[in-house]
Structure 1
């Protein structure tokens, strides 16, 4: 059973793309998985978020992703606290939003293959155009997108205290997996 908050987020994503009247062309992933890893000389930093939301309009290949930053889970509570309070400032910037388009993807003839997604990532108050390589698979009526990419913390104005610079990687390795099912209101 979906919560009111989930329904509001889905509605906002759908309205963003003007999809509200075209549900037969929409697929949705309500529990996408996004994780990140940062190698450091002191201790590796990694976290996972299993609540990422994404919608794809199969008619035109547009995709929207929303990730609540406080939903990232770390092995250590102190890392999670520092992530939210000091680095991504999740009280000020509570979510990451990506909107873009799947390139050269024919939904009428899906083949398991790598594709590219081009779009804009809005993270930590910065909007940046990015291109992500994604693998595309199908499983019955479901569409699966997964892949990895790198994010430079400097690109999104993530400030690291000078004392901690040696302990924080400048590149963050991001891994994602979204399983889409037909959208049902």
Structure 2
């Protein structure tokens, strides 16, 4: 949650009193890798995100160690060998929704978010498709995209090449609520 606080503080200095800012404190992110020997799946529900519909700005942050796996050994290798989560503790995305969506009207809208994805200490420009849904005043977003391990200097040793795919499918879903400042 401290990442959400840092993001909010930065936004608060730009956007007076947090007007029009929406926050998700429990964004769900899943990883899936299909490989000949074994599929790898992990998930977390502790991703944080801030969205400003008027500017389109969208920020995400997730603690790498928050991902859980079915097998404890996979989780250990993920954190120590591949993601080096002590050295690179979080993944972030800072971008902008390219389409203007009227969040006062219910509906499902296709969106594209362009920005910077930072994973394993490497930042890449990305354009990511998704959907934004407004229903009864609640904003939610969902997306599915692929990340290549090599794009973020995530090494796959030759000895486990058949166990781990070179690409990882990422699914993200987040429900947003209006940010209410705690100051009076």
**TM-score in terms of structure 2 length:** 0.92
Which of 75, 88, 99 is equivalent to 2:94? 99
Structure 1 residue 152 corresponds to structure 2 residue 152: no
1:133-144 equivalences under 5 Å are 133-144=129-140
Which of 172, 177, 185 is equivalent to 2:168? 172
Which of 161, 176, 184 is equivalent to 2:180? 184
Which of 4, 18, 30 is equivalent to 1:10? 4
Task: State whether residues 35 and 48 of structure 1, in contact with CA within 8 Å, keep that contact through their aligned partners in structure 2.
Answer: yes
Aligned residues: 179
Structure 1 residue 79 corresponds to structure 2 residue 79: no
**TM-score in terms of structure 1 length:** 0.91
Alignment gaps of 5+ in structure 2: none
Which of 125, 135, 143 is equivalent to 1:129? 125
1:20 to partner: Cα distance: 5.6
Task: State whether residues 38 and 171 of structure 1, in contact with CA within 8 Å, keep that contact through their aligned partners in structure 2.
Answer: yes
Alignment gaps of 5+ in structure 1: 1-5
